[in-house]
Structure 1
Amino acid sequence: MARQSRGALLPQVPGGHPRRADVYLALRNSVLRGLLAPGERMPSTRKAAADYGVSRGLLEEVYSQLVEEGLLERILGRGTFIAGHIAKSADLARVGKAPGRALSISARGIALAGNLTCRVPHDFKPFNSGVADTAEFPWKIWQRIQARTAREVRRADMNFTDPRGLPALRSSLAHHLAQLRGVRCTAEQVIVFNSVQQALYLLALLLTNPGDAVWMEDPGYPGARAALELAGAAIAPIPVDREGLQIEVGLRHAPDARLAYVTPSHQFPTGVALSMERRIALLDWAEKHDAWILEDDFDGEFGYVGQPATPLHSLDRHDRVLYLGTLSKSMFVSLRLAFAVVPEAMVEQLANIRTQLDAFSAPLTQLAMSRFMDEGHFSTHVRHMRGVYAEKCAFLRESLAPLADCGWTWEKNTVGVQLMLHHSDAEEVHRTAKASGLALHMLNAYRYKPANDDGLLLRFGGLSVTAIRSGVERLISAADHQTIV
């Protein structure tokens, strides 16, 4: 192949004094991308060294390495050239990779990857914000505690830590649960996770065989359903009415289920509470069938009328209820700390399974959280946020009053940070949601089996009163327009 007479213009290297690695990578990448063409003559090492402001010896080393890699060719008496045999590679690099076959993904992987129900928005607006109101969080106190914890950290805290959770946080959680939720347990019964979904997944792995039936509220929390299905459970959807989970339906269709997942204090997403009669029936079923009840008390601390509802765990006399909770709802969503209260013998088993996944939660965050609780800041914050969310919820309910004339209904004694609007005409719900232009979630999206009626889930926890007002005005305008049409 005829050699080109013109000399190559060398690529620039950032910085005033490039290192050997910088020069090498700049030349290598330029060759592979076709910026230095096959057959093109390279400047001498003396000229190249002067261009880059480095020693000639450094350029000799770089050229020699590129020759060894087959990217450059040296011809005695003529000079150094870009190797001609890499023309095809350079062409491919210049135009992009050649089209390949479709990714070889399993049928299970395709199904799981296609489930977008657990993806959450990064831009909170009416009404997609079911997270904590961070504007009310005591950031300065939290930052001081974090700084103090970081200063006092030991070398041991920087290694692998207890997969059950740090003893300090487990003790703090046991005290908190007894004081604020009436859940009596020892620190040895508490295990710390990164999320409730992780806890559900590990519990399902421990307590079920693939294909075992699990009662799941319908409608219900998509994250719980996803975690249970990931573990290989067979979902048995049990409908929910104004008294919560319909136990009699579960007894007819899947009496031998191994687990029942429930949100008894505040059913997600409908907002109803499980009646005492059904609580007793559920406990009776679990005891007679050697089954387990997974109680997700995701926002049980935020009751607005009197004291929060009593957890199902407090009524259990046979150790069939496994109590799950999260600190991310009370604190802030990126905290990533959750917990479970289980029989003490189960803690070690869960910890062993966990070590096969992510091993443990961040120790510095656990230590800071423990101190935040022990110094009384957490209980103070929770009590304050009860008032904040109560005001938001009352404002939301009052603002929605005009919708009652358009056939919409909602729970009057709402707890938590979301409110479900119902309408008997599913088409009316869809038209109103579309016309409003708001970020709304349909009730049927949370159902295993779609129904003729539908609703809208208004999640307001992280929204300001101004944002709530704006959202309600748009919702009412859309509903009024649909009624006129």
Structure 2
Amino acid sequence: MVKRYGKSPFLVLPLETEGGKPLYRQLYEGVRQAILSGQLRPGVRLPATRQLAEELKLSRTTVLIAFEQLLAEGYVEGRVGDGTYVARTLPDELLANPPAHEARGKQQAGQRRLSQRGERIASLPLGVTPGAIPQQLFRLGIPALDQFPFDIWEQLARQQYRQAKWETLDYSDPAGYYPLRETLAAYLRTARAVRCTAEQVLIVSGSQQAIDLAARVLLDPGEAAWVEDPGYPGPRGALMSQGVRVIPVPVDREGLEIAQGQQRAPQARMAYVTPSHQYPLGVVMSLKRRLQLLEWANETGMWVLEDDYDGEFRYQGRPLASLQGLDENGQVIYIGTFSKVLFPALRLGYLVVPPELVAAFRTARALADRHSPGLEQAIVADFIAQGHFVRHIRRMRTLYAQRQQMLLAAIGRELAGELEVAPHEAGMHLVGWLGTECSDQEIAQRALKGGLHVPALSAYTLQARLRPGVLLGYTTMNEAEIQEGVHALKRLLREKEKHQR
């Protein structure tokens, strides 16, 4: 059992008062073992000898003798006027010859193995950088955080914290805060032509969790799922971690090539698509392909995951209606996220599922992490209900359209003939096409060292063979940063040319 003395944990030692071994020796060996096992970490302050003597019901002399032996052998160190601490550097002979129980523990740890699912998960690329991600030019998928109305958000947050109710502080419905589901359902019906009620909306921790839940609930290990090729690695990883066979299906100018999917895996149980703005190529799935996909799903019982990750950002005309809105048979699960329209750290997304699947998804969500934070859900509900959400999206559409034009103009001036970039009517990034002799992976790596985040297009492919290219995010960059980024990219490409010569 561990007790605390001030700020330092200490082990309560089982001392045998009637045994043959002296008490000071038992205390010495007990503390020494706690140090070697790591229970007492280097630099930890030990209790005062008087305090320890009282706690263990020993004479202070007994404790002093034990501590003097530890000090002489280098396990602890005294600091004048400041007590006794575990030594930061242990005796060399002890490090070279660990006790027998330590060797046994290391051997047992080496023999332990992961489950098959654990092995799959461990082998998948994480796709994100551990720890804080530095600010880099051309970052993908990040909204203009400097333009977010944090003053309004702060007012709503203060109001929620002042008037916090049990329903936002207690354990709550795994499907999410009901007022948020209501306001979100009303928004989706109007803005995205999604057919839904509040009961069909489930709040989750981002679109990645939505995909993971869908794979858990709807697919068994060994079953097949179509994915776009090229496509975002995150959904592929979520499916593969559940033992699903990922079937890459090519993408052309009309979106997912349904005929290729039918040929490669006619028995697939799921198709993951980004029809409003394919990631990363940016193409929009044609109406013909949408209807073809829905017809095939209805005939075979295949589920369709529609990831509408940035469907709000369309710069010409109204945003396209969702694929789910065309679905007459309940085959489409619609996924959305607040990461692109509000901010990523909020970690809120949502699913819209057919009514018959609500109970299963709710249970799966409860088993995963119970529910999303209640207060944050309540703040978002107020943000939407009071009209701030729609106004913010409108402002960002205008801003992002302007920033896209700035990027195109700067590339046209600085990189004409070296980087081919075409305007796009939607999204948060553009594809910069390179010369066929270039290695987009090499350019992406060199750019990263120079503070530019321009991922290689080939990094998003499984089997597809595409012309080399890089992805260029523009939503986080003001005009000066766009100019700086294009200049840096120009220098990088010119250096590459010199090396090739």
Q: Residue 133 of structure 1: CA displacement?
A: 1.0
Which one of 98, 119, 124 corresponds to residue 128 of structure 2? 119
Q: Match of 1:325, SS?
A: strand
Post-superposition CA distance 1:284-325 (Å, at most 9, x none):
110111111100000000001111122111111111111100
Q: How many residues align?
A: 443
In the other structure, the counterpart of 2:218 is: 207
Aligned residue number for residue 62 of structure 2: 74
CA distance in 2, matches of 1:320, 1:23: 58
What is aligned with 1:164? 175
Relative distance call for 1:431 and 1:93 in structure 2 (3 A) is: closer
Counterpart CA distance in 2 for 1:452 and 1:186 is 41
Equivalence for 1:63: 53
Please list the CA deviations of residues 189-215 of structure 1 after superposition, one character each: whole Å capped at 9, or x if unmatched: 111101111111111111111111000
The C-alpha deviation readout for 1:244-274, integer Å capped at 9, x for no partner, is: 1111110101111111000000001111111
Q: Secondary structure at the match of 1:270?
A: coil
Aligned residue type for 2:52: V
Q: Is the 8 A contact 2:213 2:361 kept in 1?
A: yes
2:301 corresponds, among 268, 285, 290, to 290
Compare 345-354 and 253-262 and name the one that shifted more.
345-354
**Stretch moving more, 275-284 or 106-115:** 106-115
- Aligned partner (choices 121, 128, 133) of residue 139 of structure 2: 128
Q: Paired residue for 2:472, among 436, 439, 458? A: 458
Contact 1:213 1:256 in 2 (8 A): yes
Rounded to whole Å, the distance in 2 between the matches of 1:137 and 1:375 is 16
Deviation of the 1:416 alpha carbon: 1.5
Residue 379 of structure 1: how far off its partner (Å): 0.5
The structure 1 residue matched to 2:283, chosen from 228, 250, 272, is: 272
Q: Deviations over 1:33-83 (max 9, x none)?
A: 89x9xxxxxxxxxxxxxxx9x9xxx96442244677xx99729xxx74338
> What corresponds to 1:197 in structure 2?
208
Report if aligned partners of 1:406, 1:483 keep a CA contact under 8 Å in 2: no
The superposition leaves residues 332-380 of structure 1 with CA deviations (integer Å, 9 ceiling, x where unpaired) of 1111110011112211110111111100000000111101100000011
Q: 1:194 touches 1:361 (CA, 8 Å); kept in 2?
A: yes
Offset from partner CA, 1:108-141 (integer Å, 9 cap, x none): 5455334344214611212224211111111010
Distance 1:380 1:345, change over 3 A: same
**Could you tell me which of 261, 274, 283 is aligned with 2:272?**
261
User: Which residue identity is paired with 2:292?
Assistant: A
Q: Which amino acid aligns with 2:358?
A: V
Counterpart amino acid of residue 66 in structure 2: F
Q: Which whole-Å deviations, capped at 9, do the CAs of 1:183-240 have from their partners, x for residues lacking one?
A: 2311111111011111111111111111110000011111111111122211001111
Aligned to 2:257: 246
TM-score in terms of structure 2 length: 0.79
Moved more, 185-194 or 80-89: 80-89
Partner AA of 1:163 in structure 2:
P
Distance 2:165 2:466 in 1: 59
SS at match of 2:458: helix
- Counterpart of 1:5 in structure 2 is none
- Other-structure match for 1:446: 460
Task: Give the match's secondary structure for 1:215.
Answer: strand
Q: Which runs of 5+ in 2 are unaligned?
A: 13-26, 36-45, 77-86
Shift of 1:155: 2.9
CA distance in 1, matches of 2:453, 2:431: 14
What TM-score do the two structures reach when normalised by structure 1? Answer: 0.82
Q: Over residues 424-445 of structure 1, what are the superposed CA-to-partner deviations in whole Å (9 max), with x where a residue is unaligned?
A: 5263534544565332211111
- For residues 45-444 of structure 1, the aligned pairs below 5 Å read 60-65=50-55, 74=62, 80-82=65-67, 93-94=90-91, 98=98, 100=106, 104-106=112-114, 108-120=117-129, 122-401=133-412, 405-406=416-417, 408-423=419-434, 425=436, 427-430=438-441, 432-433=443-444, 436=447, 437=450, 438-444=452-458
AA of the residue aligned to 2:471? L
Whichever residue aligns with residue 224 of structure 2, its letter is A
Q: Match of 2:151, as an amino acid? A: K
- The whole-number CA distance in structure 1 between the counterparts of 2:8 and 2:278 is 62
Determine if contact 1:294/1:321 at 8 Å carries over to the other structure.
Answer: yes
CA distance in 2: counterparts of 1:105 and 1:127, whole angstroms: 41
Change (3 A) 1:467 1:110: farther
| Farther-moved stretch of structure 1 (229-238 vs 419-428) | 419-428
Task: State the one-letter code of the partner of 2:62.
Answer: R
Structure 1 residues 199 and 22, CA gap change in structure 2 (3 angstroms): closer
Measured in 1, the distance between the counterparts of 2:8 and 2:294 equals: 71
**CA separation of 1:426 and 1:168: change in aligned 2, threshold 3 A:** farther
* Contact preservation (8 Å) 1:271, 1:411: no
Q: Tell me how far 1:283 sits from its aligned partner.
A: 0.8
Task: Give the stretch that moved more between structures: 424-433 or 202-211.
Answer: 424-433
Helix, strand or coil: the match of 1:74?
A: helix
Per mean C-alpha deviation after superposition, the further-off stretch among 395-404 and 430-439 is 430-439
In 2, Cα distance between equivalents of 1:80 and 1:344? 73
Q: Tell me the secondary structure at the aligned position of residue 268 of structure 2.
A: coil
**What is the Cα deviation at residue 32 of structure 1?**
5.0
Letter in 2 for 1:118: G
Bigger CA drift: 178-187 or 159-168?
Answer: 178-187
Task: Please tell me the residue identity of whatever aligns with 1:392.
Answer: R
For 1:444 and 1:223, locate their aligned partners in 2 and report how far apart those are by CA, in whole Å: 15
Query: Which of 450, 469, 478 is the equivalent residue of 2:483?
Result: 469
Secondary structure of 1:192 counterpart? strand
Q: Residues of 1 paired with 2:455 and 2:326: CA distance?
A: 33
Whether the 8 Å contact between 1:133 and 1:462 is mirrored in structure 2 is yes
CA RMSD of aligned residues (A): 3.4
1:353 aligns to what SS in structure 2? helix
Residues of 1 paired with 2:495 and 2:168: CA distance?
60
Determine the structure 1 residue equivalent to 2:493: 479
Identity level (%): 33
**1:26 deviation in Å?**
12
Q: Secondary structure at the match of 2:305?
A: strand
Contact 1:170 1:187 in 2 (8 A): yes
